[in-house]
Amino acid sequence: MDRRPSEGRGGSIYDLGYRGYEGPRLGRRAAIWALLAHSVRTAYGIGRNARSKVMPVGLAVLAVLPSMLALGILMLVTTLNAPAEVVEAFSPVAYSTIFPFIAILVFLFCASQAPELFGRDQQMGVLPLYFSRAIGRLDYAAARFLGLFASLLVLVLVPYLLLLVGRVLVAPDLFEGLAEELPSAPAALAVALMTAAVVGTLSSAVASLTPRRSYATVAIIAVFLVPNIVASSLVALETGLVGQIAAVLSPPDVLDGVNAYLFDARPDNITVLRAGIDGWVYVVAAFAWIAGSLAVLARRYRSMVV
Amino acid sequence: MIARAPIVAVTLRGLLDRKRFWLMVALAAVPVLLMAMAVAFSDQPVEPEDFDTAVISLVLPLIALVFGTSAIGSELDEGTIVYLLTKPVRRLRIVLAKVLVAAALTAALVVPATLLTGLVATLGGSDVLAAGAAYALATALGGTAYVVIFLAVSTFTRWALAVGLVYVLLWEGILADLLPGTGQFSVRQATLGVARELADEPIPSGAIGLEQGLISLAIFIIGGIAIATWRMSRYQVRGGD
Amino acid sequence: MSEQRHSSTITVEHASRWYGDVVAVNDISFTVDGGVTGLLGPNGAGKTTLLHMIAGLMAPSAGSIRIDDHATWRRPPVYRRVGLVPERESVYPYLSGREFVRLNAELHHLPDAVAATGRAIDMVDLADAAERKVGTYSKGMRQRIKVAAALVHDPPVLVLDEPFNGMDPRQRLHMFGLLRQMAAEGRTILLSSHILEEVERIADSVLVIYAGRLAAAGDFRSIRRLMTDRPHTFLLRSSDDRRLGSMLLTEGCVFGIELDGAGLRVRTSDYGEFTRRMPSVVRDAGIRLFELRPTDDSLESVFGYLVGR
Give percent of chain B above pLDDT 90: 36
Beta bridge partners of C209: C214
Tell me the shortest Cα–Cα distance from C277 to chain B, in angstroms.
46
Spatial contact of B209 and B197, defined as CB atoms under 8 Å apart = yes
Q: Which pLDDT belongs to residue C75? A: 83
Contact B54 A233 (CB under 8 A): yes
Radius of gyration over alpha carbons of chain A, in Å? 25
A100-121 confidence digits (pLDDT tens): 788 888 888 999 999 999 999 9
Of A231-240, C47-56, C190-199, minimum mean pLDDT range: A231-240
> CB distance from A214 to chain B under 8 Å?
yes
- What is d(CA B215, CA A231) in angstroms, rounded to the nearest whole number? 35
Higher pLDDT pick, C5 / C158: C158
Q: Which pLDDT belongs to residue B208? A: 80
> CB distance from A222 to chain B under 8 Å?
yes
Contact A226 B30 (CB under 8 A): yes
- Which domain, by its residues, includes B46? 6-233
Please state, in angstroms and as integers, the Cα–Cα distance from residue C202 to each residue in A57, C39, C124, C181, C214, following that order. Answer: 56, 12, 17, 11, 20
Residue A252: which pLDDT band, with cuts at 50, 70 and 90?
Answer: very high
What's the number of domains chain C is made of? Answer: 2
- What is d(CA B68, CA B99) in angstroms, rounded to the nearest whole number? 7
Contact B159 A238 (CB under 8 A): no
Give buried/exposed letters for C187-210 (b at 16+ CB in 10 A, else e). bbbbbbbbebebbbebbebbbbbb
Residue C83, SS3? strand
B149-176 confidence digits (pLDDT tens): 999 999 998 888 878 887 887 777 766 6
Q: Is residue C4 part of a domain?
A: no
- What is d(CA A228, CA B180) in angstroms, rounded to the nearest whole number? 26
B185-237 confidence digits (pLDDT tens): 888 888 888 888 888 777 777 678 888 889 999 999 999 999 999 999 999 88
What's the number of domains chain B is made of? Answer: 1
pLDDT averaged over every residue in chain A? 84
Q: Which pLDDT belongs to residue C201? A: 85
CATH code at position C185: 3.40.50.300
Contacts of B50 in chain A (CB under 8 A): 233
Q: Is residue B238 part of a domain?
A: no
Residues of chain B that touch chain C, judged by Cβ-Cβ distance less than 8 Å = 1, 3, 6-7, 9-10, 13-14, 17, 78-80, 82-90, 233, 236-241
Higher pLDDT pick, C275 / C53: C53
The answer on pLDDT for C91 being more than 50 is yes
Q: Is A44 exposed, middle or buried (0-12, 13-18, 19+ CB in 10 A)?
A: buried
A56-86 confidence digits (pLDDT tens): 998 888 888 888 887 787 777 777 776 666 6
Q: Which of C39, C308, C33, C36 is CA-nearest to residue C196?
A: C39
Q: Is residue C2 part of a domain?
A: no
> CB distance from C88 to chain B under 8 Å?
yes
CATH code at position C262: 3.30.70.920
Contacts of C79 in chain B (CB under 8 A): 86-88
Same-domain status, C68 and C170: yes
Contact C79 B236 (CB under 8 A): no
- What is d(CA A124, CA C136) in angstroms, rounded to the nearest whole number? 20
Q: Which pLDDT belongs to residue B3? A: 47
Of A16-30, A237-251, C215-229, minimum mean pLDDT range: C215-229
What length is written for chain A? 306
Contact A241 B58 (CB under 8 A): no
- What is d(CA B139, CA C2) in angstroms, rounded to the nearest whole number? 56
Same-domain status, C172 and C90: yes
Chains B–C, number of C-beta pairs less than 8 Å apart: 91
Q: Is residue C1 part of a domain?
A: no
What's the number of domains chain A is made of? Answer: 1
Give the nearest partner residue to A225 out of B34, B54, B58, using CB atoms: B58
B108-135 confidence digits (pLDDT tens): 999 998 888 888 888 877 777 777 788 8
Higher pLDDT pick, C83 / C167: C83
Contacts of A226 in chain B (CB under 8 A): 27, 30, 58
Q: Is residue A43 part of a domain?
A: yes
Give percent of chain A above pLDDT 90: 34
Pick the residue from chain B with its C-alpha nearest to A240.
Answer: B41
C142-165 confidence digits (pLDDT tens): 999 999 999 999 999 999 999 988
A48 C-beta neighbours (distance < 10 Å), count: 12
Contact B88 C77 (CB under 8 A): yes
Q: Is residue B240 part of a domain?
A: no
Same-domain status, C97 and C204: yes
The answer on pLDDT for A1 being more than 50 is no
Pick the residue from chain C with its C-alpha nearest to B239.
Answer: C48
Q: Which pLDDT belongs to residue C302? A: 64
- Which domain, by its residues, includes A87? 26-303
The answer on pLDDT for C250 being more than 80 is yes
> CB distance from C212 to chain B under 8 Å?
no
Residue at a domain's end among C218, C249, C271? C218
Same-domain status, C143 and C55: yes
Q: Is residue C235 part of a domain?
A: yes
Show which subunits contact B, needing at least 3 CB pairs below 8 angstroms: A, C
The answer on pLDDT for A244 being more than 80 is yes
Pick the residue from chain B with its C-alpha nearest to C102.
Answer: B6
Q: Which pLDDT belongs to residue C1? A: 46
> CB distance from C28 to chain B under 8 Å?
no
Same-domain status, C253 and C131: no
> CB distance from C84 to chain B under 8 Å?
yes
Rama region for C27: left / alpha / beta (φ>0; ψ in -120 to 50; rest): left
The answer on pLDDT for C229 being more than 60 is no
Residue B4, SS3? coil
A89-101 confidence digits (pLDDT tens): 655 567 777 787 8
Residue B51: which pLDDT band, with cuts at 50, 70 and 90?
Answer: low
Same-domain status, C95 and C164: yes
The answer on pLDDT for A292 being more than 90 is yes
Q: What is the pTM of this model?
A: 0.78
Residue at a domain's end among C191, C218, C245? C218
Q: Is residue C264 part of a domain?
A: yes
Q: Is residue B36 part of a domain?
A: yes
Q: Which of B53, B120, B39 is CA-nearest to residue A238?
A: B39
Higher pLDDT pick, A142 / B188: A142
Q: Which pLDDT belongs to residue B102? A: 96
Same-domain status, C116 and C144: yes
Contacts of A215 in chain B (CB under 8 A): 20, 161
Residue A2: which pLDDT band, with cuts at 50, 70 and 90?
Answer: very low
Same-domain status, C119 and C207: yes
Contacts of A234 in chain B (CB under 8 A): 34, 37-38, 41-42
> CB distance from C17 to chain B under 8 Å?
no
Same-domain status, C269 and C164: no
- Which domain, by its residues, includes C290? 225-308
Q: Is residue A14 part of a domain?
A: no
Residue B77: which pLDDT band, with cuts at 50, 70 and 90?
Answer: confident
Same-domain status, C260 and C189: no
